[in-house]
Structure 1
Amino acid sequence: MNLPYNSTTYPNYLGHATQSESSVSWESSLFPALVQTNCYKYLMFFACTMLVPKCDSHTHQRVPPCRSLCRSSKERCESVLGIVGLQWPEDTDCNQFPEDGPSVTCLLPDPDVDG
Protein backbone atom coordinates (compact mmCIF):
# COMPACT_ATOMS: atom_id res chain seq x y z
CA MET A 1 0.00 0.00 0.00
CA ASN A 2 3.06 2.23 -0.19
CA LEU A 3 2.90 3.11 3.53
CA PRO A 4 5.91 4.19 5.61
CA TYR A 5 5.38 1.15 7.88
CA ASN A 6 5.04 -2.59 7.30
CA SER A 7 3.43 -3.93 10.49
CA THR A 8 -0.21 -3.52 11.45
CA THR A 9 -2.51 -4.72 14.20
CA TYR A 10 -6.20 -5.30 14.74
CA PRO A 11 -8.76 -4.27 15.72
CA ASN A 12 -8.22 -1.08 13.75
CA TYR A 13 -9.59 2.36 14.65
CA LEU A 14 -12.90 1.63 12.95
CA GLY A 15 -13.44 -1.54 14.98
CA HIS A 16 -12.62 -4.02 12.20
CA ALA A 17 -11.20 -7.24 13.61
CA THR A 18 -9.49 -8.52 10.45
CA GLN A 19 -7.79 -7.26 7.30
CA SER A 20 -10.53 -8.74 5.12
CA GLU A 21 -13.14 -6.81 7.09
CA SER A 22 -11.13 -3.63 6.49
CA SER A 23 -10.84 -4.41 2.79
CA VAL A 24 -14.60 -4.76 2.43
CA SER A 25 -15.06 -1.49 4.31
CA TRP A 26 -12.49 0.26 2.12
CA GLU A 27 -14.07 -0.95 -1.12
CA SER A 28 -17.58 0.03 -0.07
CA SER A 29 -16.70 3.26 1.74
CA LEU A 30 -16.47 6.85 0.62
CA PHE A 31 -12.73 6.78 -0.08
CA PRO A 32 -12.77 5.33 -3.62
CA ALA A 33 -15.23 8.07 -4.61
CA LEU A 34 -12.53 10.61 -3.76
CA VAL A 35 -9.81 9.15 -5.99
CA GLN A 36 -10.60 11.67 -8.72
CA THR A 37 -10.40 14.64 -6.35
CA ASN A 38 -7.44 16.67 -5.19
CA CYS A 39 -8.18 15.80 -1.56
CA TYR A 40 -7.44 12.13 -2.17
CA LYS A 41 -3.70 12.61 -1.67
CA TYR A 42 -4.39 14.05 1.78
CA LEU A 43 -7.03 11.53 2.74
CA MET A 44 -5.25 8.35 1.59
CA PHE A 45 -2.59 8.19 4.33
CA PHE A 46 -5.07 9.13 7.05
CA ALA A 47 -7.54 6.48 5.83
CA CYS A 48 -4.79 3.87 5.86
CA THR A 49 -3.79 4.75 9.43
CA MET A 50 -7.40 4.12 10.41
CA LEU A 51 -7.96 0.92 8.42
CA VAL A 52 -4.51 -0.68 8.78
CA PRO A 53 -2.95 1.04 11.81
CA LYS A 54 0.78 0.88 12.33
CA CYS A 55 1.90 -1.60 14.96
CA ASP A 56 4.74 -0.39 17.19
CA SER A 57 7.42 -3.08 17.04
CA HIS A 58 8.45 -2.52 20.68
CA THR A 59 5.08 -2.25 22.43
CA HIS A 60 3.02 -4.26 19.92
CA GLN A 61 0.34 -1.56 20.22
CA ARG A 62 -1.30 0.28 17.36
CA VAL A 63 0.04 3.77 16.65
CA PRO A 64 -2.71 6.37 16.17
CA PRO A 65 -2.68 9.12 13.60
CA CYS A 66 -1.77 12.50 15.07
CA ARG A 67 -4.59 14.97 15.48
CA SER A 68 -2.91 17.23 12.89
CA LEU A 69 -3.07 14.43 10.29
CA CYS A 70 -6.78 13.98 10.94
CA ARG A 71 -7.45 17.72 10.87
CA SER A 72 -5.51 18.38 7.66
CA SER A 73 -7.36 15.53 5.94
CA LYS A 74 -10.71 16.75 7.19
CA GLU A 75 -10.03 20.39 6.27
CA ARG A 76 -9.03 19.48 2.74
CA CYS A 77 -11.72 16.88 2.11
CA GLU A 78 -14.85 17.73 4.07
CA SER A 79 -16.15 20.16 1.43
CA VAL A 80 -15.49 17.61 -1.33
CA LEU A 81 -17.44 15.03 0.64
CA GLY A 82 -20.34 17.49 0.84
CA ILE A 83 -20.32 17.92 -2.92
CA VAL A 84 -20.83 14.18 -3.42
CA GLY A 85 -23.46 14.06 -0.67
CA LEU A 86 -21.31 12.53 2.05
CA GLN A 87 -20.26 13.67 5.51
CA TRP A 88 -17.01 13.24 7.40
CA PRO A 89 -17.42 9.90 9.25
CA GLU A 90 -18.56 10.43 12.85
CA ASP A 91 -16.24 7.71 14.14
CA THR A 92 -13.22 9.72 12.97
CA ASP A 93 -13.51 12.68 15.35
CA CYS A 94 -10.07 14.27 15.28
CA ASN A 95 -10.19 15.08 19.00
CA GLN A 96 -9.81 11.37 19.81
CA PHE A 97 -6.24 11.40 18.48
CA PRO A 98 -3.17 12.76 20.30
CA GLU A 99 -1.46 16.05 19.51
CA ASP A 100 2.02 15.43 18.18
CA GLY A 101 4.91 16.25 20.44
CA PRO A 102 8.33 15.02 21.58
CA SER A 103 6.96 12.40 23.98
CA VAL A 104 3.99 11.34 21.82
CA THR A 105 3.99 8.49 19.34
CA CYS A 106 1.56 9.16 16.51
CA LEU A 107 1.63 9.38 12.72
CA LEU A 108 2.06 12.80 11.14
CA PRO A 109 0.95 14.11 7.73
CA ASP A 110 3.17 13.10 4.85
CA PRO A 111 5.79 15.85 4.42
CA ASP A 112 5.93 15.12 0.67
CA VAL A 113 2.32 16.24 0.18
CA ASP A 114 2.00 19.95 -0.58
CA GLY A 115 0.51 21.90 2.32
Structure 2
Amino acid sequence: MHIFYPTGLVLAMLVPMLAVSDFEPVNSWSYKKNPTCVDIPEDLRLCYTVGYHSMRLPNLLEHETMAEVKQQAGSWVPLVHKGCHPSTQVLLCSLFAPVCLDTAIYPCRRLCEAVQDGCMPIMEAFGFPWPSMLNCSKFPEGEVCIDTNDTTANTSVISVCPPCDDDMSLDAILEHMCASEFTIKAKIKEVRKENNDKKVILQKSKAVRLGNLKKEALKKMVLYLRNGEACNCQQLDSLGSMNLLMGRKVGKRYLLTGIHKWDKSKEFKKTIRRHKCPNTDFQFK
Protein backbone atom coordinates (compact mmCIF):
# COMPACT_ATOMS: atom_id res chain seq x y z
CA MET A 1 0.00 0.00 0.00
CA HIS A 2 1.36 3.44 -0.94
CA ILE A 3 0.40 6.91 0.14
CA PHE A 4 0.06 9.03 -2.97
CA TYR A 5 1.16 12.42 -1.80
CA PRO A 6 0.95 15.19 -4.41
CA THR A 7 2.33 18.60 -3.47
CA GLY A 8 -0.32 20.76 -1.88
CA LEU A 9 -2.44 17.84 -0.63
CA VAL A 10 -2.96 17.75 3.11
CA LEU A 11 -1.75 14.35 4.22
CA ALA A 12 -4.21 14.29 7.09
CA MET A 13 -6.90 13.47 4.53
CA LEU A 14 -5.20 10.12 4.06
CA VAL A 15 -4.70 9.18 7.70
CA PRO A 16 -7.80 6.94 7.86
CA MET A 17 -6.28 4.80 5.09
CA LEU A 18 -3.23 3.85 7.18
CA ALA A 19 -2.88 0.58 8.99
CA VAL A 20 0.14 0.52 11.28
CA SER A 21 0.32 -3.28 11.21
CA ASP A 22 0.69 -3.29 7.41
CA PHE A 23 4.44 -2.74 7.45
CA GLU A 24 7.64 -2.64 9.45
CA PRO A 25 9.35 0.79 9.31
CA VAL A 26 12.81 0.97 7.76
CA ASN A 27 14.18 2.66 10.86
CA SER A 28 11.87 3.75 13.62
CA TRP A 29 14.54 4.81 16.12
CA SER A 30 13.27 8.39 16.34
CA TYR A 31 9.74 7.27 17.07
CA LYS A 32 10.97 5.45 20.18
CA LYS A 33 12.33 8.66 21.73
CA ASN A 34 9.03 10.16 22.85
CA PRO A 35 8.44 12.16 19.66
CA THR A 36 6.42 15.35 19.80
CA CYS A 37 4.15 16.95 17.24
CA VAL A 38 4.99 20.58 16.44
CA ASP A 39 3.83 23.16 13.91
CA ILE A 40 6.07 23.68 10.90
CA PRO A 41 7.39 27.23 11.42
CA GLU A 42 7.22 29.78 8.63
CA ASP A 43 10.98 30.24 8.63
CA LEU A 44 11.51 26.54 7.83
CA ARG A 45 11.42 27.59 4.17
CA LEU A 46 12.10 24.13 2.79
CA CYS A 47 8.90 22.61 4.16
CA TYR A 48 6.53 25.40 5.17
CA THR A 49 4.60 25.10 1.89
CA VAL A 50 4.81 21.32 1.55
CA GLY A 51 1.09 20.78 2.09
CA TYR A 52 0.63 19.84 5.77
CA HIS A 53 1.11 21.90 8.90
CA SER A 54 2.58 19.70 11.64
CA MET A 55 5.74 17.60 11.86
CA ARG A 56 7.45 15.14 14.17
CA LEU A 57 10.51 15.77 16.33
CA PRO A 58 12.89 13.99 16.33
CA ASN A 59 12.66 13.74 12.55
CA LEU A 60 13.88 10.89 10.35
CA LEU A 61 17.37 12.40 10.01
CA GLU A 62 18.07 12.29 13.75
CA HIS A 63 17.51 16.03 14.29
CA GLU A 64 16.09 16.49 17.76
CA THR A 65 15.48 20.26 17.87
CA MET A 66 13.82 22.70 15.51
CA ALA A 67 16.97 24.83 15.50
CA GLU A 68 18.92 21.89 14.11
CA VAL A 69 16.25 21.16 11.49
CA LYS A 70 16.32 24.78 10.27
CA GLN A 71 20.08 24.84 10.13
CA GLN A 72 20.37 21.65 8.14
CA ALA A 73 17.37 22.20 5.86
CA GLY A 74 18.33 25.69 4.72
CA SER A 75 20.99 24.56 2.29
CA TRP A 76 18.51 22.41 0.37
CA VAL A 77 16.14 25.25 -0.56
CA PRO A 78 18.14 26.23 -3.70
CA LEU A 79 17.84 22.68 -5.04
CA VAL A 80 14.04 22.91 -4.80
CA HIS A 81 14.17 26.26 -6.62
CA LYS A 82 16.08 24.65 -9.47
CA GLY A 83 12.99 22.61 -10.36
CA CYS A 84 14.99 19.51 -11.21
CA HIS A 85 12.02 17.36 -10.22
CA PRO A 86 8.49 18.35 -9.15
CA SER A 87 8.66 16.11 -6.06
CA THR A 88 12.03 17.23 -4.66
CA GLN A 89 10.36 19.11 -1.81
CA VAL A 90 8.14 16.14 -0.99
CA LEU A 91 11.12 13.79 -0.75
CA LEU A 92 13.21 16.13 1.40
CA CYS A 93 10.39 17.13 3.72
CA SER A 94 9.34 13.52 4.31
CA LEU A 95 12.71 13.24 6.07
CA PHE A 96 13.33 16.74 7.47
CA ALA A 97 9.73 17.37 8.56
CA PRO A 98 7.87 14.03 8.71
CA VAL A 99 4.14 14.28 9.04
CA CYS A 100 2.64 13.55 12.46
CA LEU A 101 1.51 9.92 12.54
CA ASP A 102 1.89 7.14 15.07
CA THR A 103 4.42 5.34 12.89
CA ALA A 104 7.33 6.54 10.77
CA ILE A 105 6.34 6.86 7.11
CA TYR A 106 9.33 6.93 4.77
CA PRO A 107 9.51 8.02 1.13
CA CYS A 108 9.01 5.28 -1.45
CA ARG A 109 12.10 4.03 -3.24
CA ARG A 110 10.70 4.93 -6.65
CA LEU A 111 10.09 8.52 -5.48
CA CYS A 112 13.70 8.77 -4.32
CA GLU A 113 15.00 7.30 -7.58
CA ALA A 114 12.89 9.65 -9.69
CA VAL A 115 14.16 12.72 -7.82
CA GLN A 116 17.71 11.38 -8.02
CA ASP A 117 17.46 11.00 -11.80
CA GLY A 118 16.33 14.60 -12.15
CA CYS A 119 18.47 16.30 -9.53
CA MET A 120 21.77 14.43 -9.47
CA PRO A 121 23.07 16.27 -12.59
CA ILE A 122 22.25 19.57 -10.88
CA MET A 123 24.11 18.60 -7.71
CA GLU A 124 27.09 17.34 -9.68
CA ALA A 125 27.27 20.72 -11.42
CA PHE A 126 27.70 22.26 -7.97
CA GLY A 127 30.38 19.72 -7.03
CA PHE A 128 28.18 17.65 -4.70
CA PRO A 129 27.78 13.88 -4.89
CA TRP A 130 24.37 12.35 -4.26
CA PRO A 131 24.21 12.30 -0.43
CA SER A 132 24.14 9.17 1.68
CA MET A 133 21.03 10.44 3.49
CA LEU A 134 19.21 9.95 0.17
CA ASN A 135 20.48 6.46 -0.57
CA CYS A 136 17.37 5.21 -2.34
CA SER A 137 18.09 1.53 -1.64
CA LYS A 138 17.25 1.99 2.05
CA PHE A 139 13.69 3.17 1.36
CA PRO A 140 10.72 0.77 1.05
CA GLU A 141 9.26 -0.57 -2.19
CA GLY A 142 6.07 -2.46 -1.37
CA GLU A 143 5.16 -1.09 2.05
CA VAL A 144 3.29 1.99 3.18
CA CYS A 145 5.41 4.91 2.00
CA ILE A 146 5.15 8.44 0.61
CA ASP A 147 4.88 8.65 -3.15
CA THR A 148 3.67 11.04 -5.84
CA ASN A 149 1.93 10.60 -9.14
CA ASP A 150 4.73 12.43 -10.94
CA THR A 151 7.96 10.47 -11.36
CA THR A 152 9.09 12.30 -14.51
CA ALA A 153 12.27 14.32 -14.24
CA ASN A 154 12.33 17.87 -15.55
CA THR A 155 15.21 17.50 -17.97
CA SER A 156 14.58 20.84 -19.67
CA VAL A 157 16.56 22.69 -17.01
CA ILE A 158 19.75 20.88 -18.02
CA SER A 159 19.95 22.89 -21.28
CA VAL A 160 21.02 25.83 -19.12
CA CYS A 161 23.97 25.31 -16.79
CA PRO A 162 22.37 25.05 -13.32
CA PRO A 163 24.48 27.87 -11.80
CA CYS A 164 23.39 30.15 -14.67
CA ASP A 165 19.64 30.03 -14.04
CA ASP A 166 18.93 33.73 -13.64
CA ASP A 167 15.14 33.45 -13.46
CA MET A 168 14.98 33.79 -9.68
CA SER A 169 13.25 36.06 -7.21
CA LEU A 170 15.35 38.12 -4.84
CA ASP A 171 14.43 35.78 -1.97
CA ALA A 172 15.63 32.79 -3.99
CA ILE A 173 18.91 34.56 -4.79
CA LEU A 174 19.47 35.26 -1.09
CA GLU A 175 18.81 31.63 -0.19
CA HIS A 176 21.15 30.51 -2.97
CA MET A 177 23.78 32.92 -1.67
CA CYS A 178 23.51 31.58 1.86
CA ALA A 179 23.81 27.98 0.64
CA SER A 180 27.09 28.83 -1.13
CA GLU A 181 30.42 29.15 0.64
CA PHE A 182 31.24 32.59 -0.72
CA THR A 183 29.69 35.40 -2.76
CA ILE A 184 31.54 38.08 -4.70
CA LYS A 185 30.75 40.97 -7.02
CA ALA A 186 32.95 40.88 -10.11
CA LYS A 187 33.37 41.53 -13.81
CA ILE A 188 34.33 38.65 -16.07
CA LYS A 189 37.50 39.23 -18.06
CA GLU A 190 37.73 36.01 -20.04
CA VAL A 191 36.11 32.58 -20.39
CA ARG A 192 38.12 29.59 -21.62
CA LYS A 193 37.24 25.97 -22.22
CA GLU A 194 39.18 23.50 -20.14
CA ASN A 195 38.35 19.84 -20.69
CA ASN A 196 34.56 19.71 -20.17
CA ASP A 197 34.52 22.77 -17.92
CA LYS A 198 34.56 26.51 -18.44
CA LYS A 199 37.34 28.48 -16.79
CA VAL A 200 36.15 31.93 -15.70
CA ILE A 201 38.83 34.60 -15.23
CA LEU A 202 37.71 37.60 -13.18
CA GLN A 203 38.56 41.25 -12.87
CA LYS A 204 37.60 43.87 -10.30
CA SER A 205 36.45 41.36 -7.69
CA LYS A 206 34.86 42.60 -4.49
CA ALA A 207 33.82 40.53 -1.50
CA VAL A 208 30.15 40.33 -0.57
CA ARG A 209 30.29 37.29 1.72
CA LEU A 210 33.56 35.36 2.01
CA GLY A 211 32.72 32.77 4.63
CA ASN A 212 35.97 31.04 5.59
CA LEU A 213 37.94 32.48 2.68
CA LYS A 214 40.47 35.25 3.14
CA LYS A 215 40.46 38.42 1.07
CA GLU A 216 43.81 37.41 -0.43
CA ALA A 217 42.05 34.57 -2.22
CA LEU A 218 40.16 37.09 -4.38
CA LYS A 219 43.33 38.40 -6.00
CA LYS A 220 44.05 35.20 -7.90
CA MET A 221 40.62 33.59 -7.85
CA VAL A 222 39.61 31.68 -10.97
CA LEU A 223 36.18 30.05 -11.10
CA TYR A 224 35.26 26.83 -12.91
CA LEU A 225 31.84 26.03 -14.30
CA ARG A 226 31.71 22.26 -14.03
CA ASN A 227 30.60 20.56 -17.26
CA GLY A 228 29.97 24.03 -18.65
CA GLU A 229 30.93 23.05 -22.18
CA ALA A 230 27.73 21.01 -22.51
CA CYS A 231 25.24 23.72 -21.46
CA ASN A 232 24.50 27.40 -21.95
CA CYS A 233 25.42 30.27 -19.66
CA GLN A 234 24.24 33.56 -21.09
CA GLN A 235 25.83 35.60 -18.32
CA LEU A 236 29.30 34.45 -19.37
CA ASP A 237 28.74 35.83 -22.86
CA SER A 238 28.65 39.41 -21.57
CA LEU A 239 32.27 40.12 -20.77
CA GLY A 240 32.86 43.26 -18.74
CA SER A 241 29.42 43.23 -17.14
CA MET A 242 29.11 43.24 -13.36
CA ASN A 243 27.75 40.04 -11.84
CA LEU A 244 26.93 38.55 -8.47
CA LEU A 245 28.87 35.28 -8.34
CA MET A 246 28.55 32.48 -5.81
CA GLY A 247 30.77 29.48 -5.34
CA ARG A 248 32.44 26.91 -3.16
CA LYS A 249 35.90 25.45 -2.91
CA VAL A 250 36.28 21.80 -3.95
CA GLY A 251 39.82 20.55 -3.59
CA LYS A 252 42.03 23.29 -5.00
CA ARG A 253 39.37 24.68 -7.33
CA TYR A 254 36.70 27.30 -6.85
CA LEU A 255 33.47 26.09 -8.45
CA LEU A 256 30.86 28.52 -9.71
CA THR A 257 27.52 27.67 -8.08
CA GLY A 258 25.54 30.74 -9.10
CA ILE A 259 25.81 33.80 -11.31
CA HIS A 260 23.28 36.62 -11.54
CA LYS A 261 23.42 39.93 -13.33
CA TRP A 262 24.16 42.70 -10.89
CA ASP A 263 21.07 44.80 -10.33
CA LYS A 264 21.96 48.48 -9.96
CA SER A 265 18.79 49.32 -8.09
CA LYS A 266 19.20 50.68 -4.56
CA GLU A 267 16.82 48.06 -3.16
CA PHE A 268 18.83 45.15 -4.58
CA LYS A 269 22.21 46.50 -3.42
CA LYS A 270 20.88 47.34 0.03
CA THR A 271 19.26 43.92 0.47
CA ILE A 272 22.32 41.98 -0.71
CA ARG A 273 24.73 43.90 1.51
CA ARG A 274 22.60 43.81 4.66
CA HIS A 275 21.30 40.25 4.41
CA LYS A 276 22.51 38.02 7.22
CA CYS A 277 22.72 34.34 6.47
CA PRO A 278 21.80 31.76 9.13
CA ASN A 279 24.45 29.29 10.18
CA THR A 280 24.09 26.72 7.40
CA ASP A 281 27.27 24.67 7.64
CA PHE A 282 25.55 21.62 6.15
CA GLN A 283 26.08 21.61 2.37
CA PHE A 284 24.38 18.71 0.57
CA LYS A 285 26.49 16.17 2.46
- Please report the TM-score for the alignment, with normalisation by the length of structure 2: 0.34
Which residue number corresponds to residue 106 of structure 1?
Answer: 145
Question: 2:115 touches 2:151 (CA, 8 Å); kept in 1?
Answer: no
Question: 2:108 touches 2:139 (CA, 8 Å); kept in 1?
Answer: yes
Which residue number corresponds to residue 46 of structure 1?
Answer: 91
Alignment of 1:2 with 2:44, yes or no, is no
Deviation, structure 1 residue 108 = 0.2
Which residue number corresponds to residue 85 of structure 1?
Answer: 127
Any gaps of 5 or more consecutive residues in structure 1?
Answer: none
How many residues are treated as equivalent by the alignment? 105
* Cα distance in 2 for residues equivalent to 1:15 and 1:53: 12
- SS at the partner of 2:120? helix
Question: 1:55 touches 1:63 (CA, 8 Å); kept in 2?
Answer: no
Alignment of 1:23 with 2:96, yes or no, is no
Higher relative contact order (CA 8 A, sep 6+): 1
The answer to which structure has the higher strand fraction is 2
Question: 1:9 touches 1:61 (CA, 8 Å); kept in 2?
Answer: no
Query: Would you identify which runs of 4 or more consecutive aligned residues in structure 1 move more than 4 Å?
Result: none
Question: 1:34 touches 1:40 (CA, 8 Å); kept in 2?
Answer: no
* Cα distance in 2 for residues equivalent to 1:34 and 1:63: 23
- Please report the TM-score for the alignment, with normalisation by the length of structure 1: 0.77
1:11-30 CA distance string (max 9 Å, x none): 22221112221111111x2x
2:144 maps to amino acid: T
Question: 1:66 touches 1:97 (CA, 8 Å); kept in 2?
Answer: yes
1:55-90 CA distance string (max 9 Å, x none): 32xxx1221111111111111100110011112111
The answer to which structure has the higher helix fraction is 1
Alignment of 1:13 with 2:60, yes or no, is yes
Deviation, structure 1 residue 41 = 3.0
Deviation, structure 1 residue 2 = 3.0
**Greater Rg by CA:** 2
Deviation, structure 1 residue 8 = 2.2
Question: 2:50 touches 2:89 (CA, 8 Å); kept in 1?
Answer: no
Deviation, structure 1 residue 32 = 2.4
Cα RMSD for the two superposed structures? 2.0
Deviation, structure 1 residue 6 = 3.7
* Cα distance in 2 for residues equivalent to 1:49 and 1:15: 13
Any gaps of 5 or more consecutive residues in structure 2?
Answer: 1-47, 153-285
